[in-house]
A and B are shown apart, each in its own frame.
Chain A
Amino acid sequence: MVKVNNMQRLLDSGLEELTVMVYKMGGVAEKALAISINGFIDGKDVSKNVLELSEILVNRTVEVEEKAFSLIAKYQPVASDLRIINSYIKVAYDFERYGRYAWDISFITTRFNAKALNFDKWIFEYIGKMAEKVLEMVGISINSLKSLDPELVKTMTRAENAIDKSYFEYLDKLVEQAGVTNESTISSVLVVRYLERIADHAMHIMEAIVYIATGEKVTLR
């Protein structure tokens, strides 16, 4: 087997910077989602905090795009370098979406909190379970990005299918139940919808990870 020493390339420091930017974004996105979902479940007003984090993510997305484009223009990367840079642009957008949905959820909490959300116990439990799963998926998506290990794709796919199922089942259950207050219905549907979207973006991130690792373009959603 031939021993080949890796040269330090000019591209490498740029790639490192880009990678750090993206990991940090992941951390912020995860935090925003955790705060916002827990805020919803506890009935607390966390919208100001979450809004701040969400805006950070919007700015970072633009920065990541600019950095990625400058690397492409300067260094004309190929193969894995090109796949990573392309994927980071997509992943940054997914993180921005995480932030956006985090804000949407916190907005629901605030908007309807004055009327004191009067959910039935089962709704809280239902949403709580979904939220837990979704937060787990978000965590896995971010960690998989760091390790570039596509092995967890199968687990994530199962989880995402489960989330989709939960979403539609919830809609069916609500239709059955009469006499739920308007605010509860609307806000709970919206939140469940947002959770399903978040899971969807987590899968999008997994698709990017598969592309980086193997060069295959897959659709997991």
Chain B
Amino acid sequence: MTKIERRTQNTGMPHPSMSKQDFSTAKIETKDLKARFGKVEVLKGINLKFPENSVTAIMGPSGCGKTTFIRCLNRIHELTPGAKVEGEVIMDGINIYSPNVDPVAIRRRIGMVFQKPNPFPTMSIYDNTVAGLKLNGVRDKKKLEELAERSLRMAFLWDEVKDDLNKPGTALSGGQQQRLCIARALAVEPEVVLMDEPCSALDPVATAKVEESIVALKKDFTIIIVTHNMQQAARISDFTAFIYLGQLIEFGKTSEVFEKPKNELTEKYITGKFG
């Protein structure tokens, strides 16, 4: 067994804060974020800063809390009966959990794309795309059409569906449905987009298309993506956070985490030695 010496001895202990890192303006950050389901504490105090217009990958083994984490960022976690959140999530200087903040309004600024594509089955492609707008009272047909085209273009789906906008949303292939869901999330013009393993239900070609769109979206949005796949994180993300058993173990530039992770636990996970 080869002996590997480390410059910094960090063997499995959590990385409590990132005061050593220095990034440009953080669009959204968490302060001591805790979450629980009933009595079980799933997140044990996470401190993370997400720089504006970047892609951050959240990685970790199944059940480590990464999905719970992003569901706390747009206040979806609290919809589950028995779920509780403590700590702060701050976007543009405002704690989104403070009592005078309307969670519904927050969710229009922080959008979400789910693991399994979930277009509304009773709606056409066009209606799906503008669903968020229509349901929130936007009536101006011209505006809706503009936003629909823009969002579908940003999701790299426009060319494939522009002549079939009235077909039902579920008539598309899996990869196209997921891009439709991305377009739907983008249509309400959020600032942050959360993605929960968006490619895990897709084949490699569809995955590549979605990854392409994520990289292009970076210049207009701040993106946080949960992924199992280190290579995907390497392909599309600027920063990577590794969460294990509800704690933040390491956070840094993806290129550094990819080549020489500082924490032994991180190294073990991304090389597939556990998880």
Contact = CB atoms under 8 A, between A and B. Distances in A.
Chains A and B form a bound pair = yes
Interface of A: 1-2, 4-7, 9, 11, 76-83, 147-151, 212-216
Interface stretch (B87-95, B116-124, B155-163, B265-273): B265-273
Contacts of A2: 12, 244-245, 265
Given A1-B11, A1-B12, A78 B4 contact: no
Contacts of B172: none
Given A78-B234, A148-B3, A150-B5, A83 B268 contact: no
Contacts of B2: 147-148
Most buried by A among B7, B244, B266: B7
Contact of B5 (A82, A83, A149): A149
B12 A6 contact: no
Contacts of B258: 78-79
B259 interface: yes
- Chain B binding surface, main DSSP class: loop
Contacts of B272: 7, 9, 11
Given A2-B245, A213-B5, A215-B260, A79 B270 contact: yes
Interface string B105-146: 000000000000000000000000000000000000000000
7 contacts: A4-B268, A7-B273, A11-B271, A76-B231, A78-B259, A78-B270, A83-B259
A11 B267 CA distance: 15
Interface in B218-275: 230-231, 234, 244-245, 258-261, 265-268, 270-274
B5 A78 contact: no
Interface in B1-17: 2-7, 11-13
Contact of A148 (B4, B234, B245, B260): B4
A73 B1 CA distance: 24
Contacts of A78: 230-231, 234, 258-259, 270-271
Contacts of B11: 1
Most buried by B among A1, A7, A79, A150: A79
Contacts of B3: 147-149
Given A78-B258, A79-B260, A81-B271, 13 more contacts: A4-B274, A6-B268, A6-B273, A7-B272, A78-B270, A80-B260, A82-B259, A148-B4, A149-B3, A149-B5, A150-B5, A214-B7, A215-B259
Given A2-B265, A149-B3, A216-B7, A77 B259 contact: no
Contacts of A147: 2-3
Contacts of B274: 4-7
A214 B265 contact: no
Most buried by A among B12, B244, B273: B273
B48 to A, nearest CB: 20
Given A1-B11, A1-B12, A79-B258, A213 B271 contact: no
Contacts of B4: 80, 148, 212-213
Nearest to A146: B2
Most buried by A among B6, B230, B231, B259: B259
B11 to A, nearest CB: 7
